[in-house]
Every structure is written in C-alpha cells, then in structure tokens.
C-alpha cells in the first residue's frame, strides 16, 4: 500500500491567514491526489483532484500543487467556514486507495 | 440534487453480521462506480470497498477481504455492504460515496452522511 503522511496534524491560524498543508506519499503518485474538507459531524467534501484541479463550486482561495511524492493544499486567506479537518487521498494505486491521517485546522 | 442515504448501522456483537444499505438519487446510478469508506470514532478515513457500475468488478481493502461483500441493485438505485464476522475494529461510521466515473477513478465527489456500526459485547 501507499502510505500518505500529512503535516501538520493540527494547525492554529487566524481569519485572513495563508495556510499550507503538506501531504507526502511513500512512492510517486503522478498527481493522482485528492483533497477533502470535513467539518464536525459532516461527510467529507471534495475540494481538489488531480493534485491541482478545483472541484466545481469550491472557492478559488483553495489551491493545490505538487508532483511526485510531495503535495500541498493552500488556503490563501482563511475564512471562518474553513476551520475544519482536511484529508489528502491517493488514487494512483487502484484500488488500494489511501488517505492521509488528517490535519485539523483550528481558530487561533 | 445528488443524495446518498445510508442505513442499517446498529450495535452488534463481535462475530455478528450486518447489512448496510445506501439509497441513491439525483443522478443516473448505473453510470457510476460506488464505494464504501469508513471512519472510526475520532479517526481518519479508510477506503473499504468498491463496485463497478454494472456490479461486474468488486474490490476490498485487505482489512475486510473475505468478511465483507459489496453489491448493488441498479433497478433500485441501491448499494449494499454485507458485513460478516464483525470485529471490534470494524466499529466506524460507514459512508457510501460516489466515484466520478463508471470505471473506478478512485476519488469521490458525493458522500452520504454515514451510518454508525458499533461492534461491542
């Protein structure tokens, strides 16, 4: 299986801050990476796929980048509704899809 | 509007069995691969199983292989997960999730709200 390691596991930030979350795969995944946002008590929501493609309806303050084994999710200016947990997921190795352990983004 | 509504989660004893259901609406169900993904309390996400649009291909995580069976009834727009030989480590919120295509692309654009399975004596 491909292991996905996110950092940090938790993060405190303020409204308006620029935030970056990193996801590292145990082997190259050729941009086959999705990012999800999950709020407490809610289902995950797809934010980006193919490492950098924004899902329809997702605000443009969310962006993704990376290649090979290392990927990042950036929120350019945090809004109150962005405080949530974020998960990366590789879909390169079909069908053994794996998620990162999550990053909890909290209000400072 | 796409909707996925899971049901069937209960408290069950170790070694027991359970069948989860997911009712789909708002899209052409038999055009898409479907998945089950679970989340243990306070933990991260774990992919469990997938089934192709026609039910012809199924895959499982190693942690559930041989114990769980995924199926679908396209005439009823429904997805199922038969869970046998349940273990305490199977305790989780089980989500039904829609793939973005008929053949498994491997990421999920819609999720249900989940159904809670608790395995405990």
B39 within 8 A of B47, measured Cβ to Cβ:
no
- Best probe of the A interface among B34, B35, B44, B60, by most A CBs < 10 A, is B44
Asked if B109 lies within 8 A of A46 by C-beta distance, the reply is: yes
What does the pLDDT look like over A57-103, one tens digit per residue? 999 999 999 999 999 999 999 999 999 999 999 999 989 999 999 99
What string of pLDDT tens digits covers the 121 residues of chain B? 999 999 999 999 999 999 999 999 999 999 999 999 999 999 999 999 999 999 999 999 999 999 999 999 999 999 999 999 999 999 999 999 999 998 888 899 999 999 999 999 9
Alpha-carbon gap, residue A2 to A72, rounded angstroms: 17
Asked if B113 lies within 8 A of A42 by C-beta distance, the reply is: yes
Instruction: Note whether A17 contacts B: Cβ–Cβ < 8 A.
Output: no
């Amino acid at each position: 299986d491909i292991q996905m390691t996110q950092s940090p596991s938790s993060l405190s930030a303020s409204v308006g801050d620029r935030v970056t979350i990193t996801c590292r795969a145990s082997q190259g995944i050729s941009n086959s990476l999705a990012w999800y946002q999950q709020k407490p008590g809610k289902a995950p929501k797809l934010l980006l796929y193919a490492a950098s493609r924004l899902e329809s309806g997702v605000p443009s303050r969310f962006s993704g980048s990376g290649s090979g084994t290392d990927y990042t999710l950036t929120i350019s200016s945090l809004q109150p509704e962005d405080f949530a947990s974020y998960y990366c997921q590789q879909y390169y190795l079909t069908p053994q899809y794996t998620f990162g352990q999550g990053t909890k983004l909290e209000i400072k | 509007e796409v909707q996925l509504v899971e049901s069937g989660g209960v408290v069950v004893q170790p070694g027991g069995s359970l069948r989860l259901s997911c009712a789909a609406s708002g899209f052409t169900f038999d055009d898409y691969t479907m998945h089950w993904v679970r989340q243990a309390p306070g933990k991260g996400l774990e992919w469990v199983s997938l089934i192709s649009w026609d039910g012809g291909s199924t895959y499982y995580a190693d942690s559930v292989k041989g114990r769980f069976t995924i199926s679908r009834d396209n005439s009823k727009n429904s997805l199922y997960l038969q869970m046998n030989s349940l273990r305490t480590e199977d305790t989780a919120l089980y989500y039904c999730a829609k793939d973005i295509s008929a053949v498994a692309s491997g990421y999920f654009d819609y999720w249900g709200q989940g159904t809670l399975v608790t395995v405990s004596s």
